[in-house]
Amino acid sequence: MYEIPVIPGDGIGPEIINEGKKVIESAAATENFNVEWKEYPYGAEHYLETGETLPESALKELSQYDAIYMGSVGDPRVEPGVLEKGILLKLRFYFDQYVNLRPVKLLPGVECPLREPGNIDFTVIRENTEDFYVGVGGRAKKGKTKNTLEIERKLYNLKFDLDIESDSDEIAYQLGVISEEGAKRVTKYAFDHAQKRKDDRVTAVDKANVLSDIYGFWRQKIEEISEEYPEIEHEFNYVDAATMWFVKNPEWYQTIVTPNMFGDIITDLGAMIQGGLGLAPGGNINPEGTSMFEPIHGSAPKHAGENKVNPIATIWAGALLLDHLGEQKAKKRIVKAISQVLEEGKIKTYDLGGNASTTKMGDAIAERVKNV
Ligand code: IPM
Ligand code: MN
């Protein structure tokens, strides 16, 4: 028996998570294990009523579990960032979920915006707790320096002098941070992942030509870890070039490892080449702690309550969750069921060019899971 905490969240979150639960229950019944859900109310509604995003008491409770199932957060009634930082990023950081695993796989039957897509099947391992997401930044204090450009030059030359004064507050800064431990653990995870998948190559994506302090260091750590995996090749791509190759030759990629912010950006592009955000799942993983599985898309408030959006990203995230719990057979069933339903093409949500509802798609996959 697995007890799984669920945070459906905002917008379309509750609708897609319902389908995810339905499919997990179907896979569990077929593979003879049980799942029980523990629902948590965190999201916009709860915040507007109580002023709290995710209390410490909930975090403590959640820390007893191996995996959280998450819908999506974000609501136009709440200032952007409050729920994202207060719930989603809070969970990632509090539980030190340092791996954000995002498969990019073009399934059969799915239309790809690329003309000749070839076999797109790779994983982005996005570092998930460092880089520009650490939340270190600020605005200049009111003081004597007159010219904001002068401050920028100061920031550039005196790298660690952040005690900036300005007679206007027209300058702001944000720091990115990479630690040795942070870079090494995610790189190790990526090479292990490549080994498991029998990949022959890991591609590290960064911007070491310009942000050479932070990403030069990152590269160095990748070089160091790569020595422990002599049978796996590694290469470096600059992130701007990588976005070009995603479009031109996506079949080249196998396992990618990349810092947090570039990982955020390239996985939205990855989602598009695998058929859209409605199909892209993600796992926020701490191999020794509490992990969290979610679609990579947001809460799409304009479609909330319409029973219209594609639940596959969330269903697929559910499969990754089961895999994490050690239920590989159940995971395989779900991924196969998704592939078959997509390949047959009879049931399509609006994003896939059809008009099937969220529940209809969920029902079809839950049913198919029983005999794949
Ligand atoms: C994602 C999202 C989040 C991120 C936001 C909502 C904080 O875009 O999971 O990719 O930037 O990581
Ligand atoms: Mn994103």
Q: Output the six-digit token pair for 33.
A: 């294990």
User: Is the confidence at residue 148, as pLDDT, over 70?
Assistant: no
pLDDT at 155: 60
Buried b (16+ CB within 10 A) or exposed e, 18-45: bbbbbbbbbbbeebebebeeeebebbbe
Instruction: Give the ligand whose atoms come closest to the C-alpha of residue 87.
Output: 1
CA 331, 334, 337, 339 dihedral sign is negative
Q: Name the H helices within 249-357.
A: 260-273, 312-325, 328-344
84 lines ligand 1 (CB under 6 A): yes
Amino acid at 15: E
Q: Which residues pair with 238 in a beta bridge?
A: 206
pLDDT at 161: 52
The arithmetic mean of pLDDT across residues 154-170, rounded, is 58
Of 264, 277, 292, best ligand 1 pocket probe by most atoms within 8 Å of the beta carbon = 264
Cα separation of 279 and 292, whole Å?
Answer: 18
90 Cα to the center of ligand 1, angstroms: 12
User: Is the confidence at residue 139, as pLDDT, over 90?
Assistant: no
Cα separation of 289 and 309, whole Å?
Answer: 32
Provide ipTM, 2 decimals: 0.99
264 lines ligand 1 (CB under 6 A): yes
The arithmetic mean of pLDDT across residues 220-238, rounded, is 98
Nearest to 15 by CA among 361, 367, 264: 361
Note the pTM of the prediction, 2 decimals.
0.94
Cα separation of 241 and 128, whole Å?
Answer: 22
pLDDT at 193: 98
pLDDT at 158: 52
The arithmetic mean of pLDDT across residues 113-141, rounded, is 91
Q: Output the six-digit token pair for 209.
A: 């030509």
Nearest to 292 by CA among 73, 121, 12: 73
Name the pLDDT band for 171 (thresholds 50, 70, 90).
confident
262 Cα to the center of ligand 2, angstroms: 10
Instruction: Give the ligand whose atoms come closest to the C-alpha of residue 92.
Output: 1
The arithmetic mean of pLDDT across residues 331-336, rounded, is 98
Domains of the chain in start order, with CATH, are 1-106+279-372 (3.40.718.10), 113-127+178-273 (3.40.50.2300), 131-175 (no CATH)
pLDDT at 280: 98
pLDDT at 164: 60
Name the pLDDT band for 41 (thresholds 50, 70, 90).
very high
Q: Please state the atom number of ligand 1 nearest to the C-alpha of residue 128.
A: 12
**Sequence-separated (6 or more) residues with CB below 8 Å from residue 160:** none
Cα separation of 239 and 263, whole Å?
Answer: 9
Cα separation of 131 and 138, whole Å?
Answer: 16
Instruction: Convert the pLDDT of each residue in 337-352 to its tens digit.
Output: 999 999 999 999 999 9
Instruction: Convert the pLDDT of each residue in 1-33 to its tens digit.
Output: 999 999 999 999 999 999 999 999 999 999 999
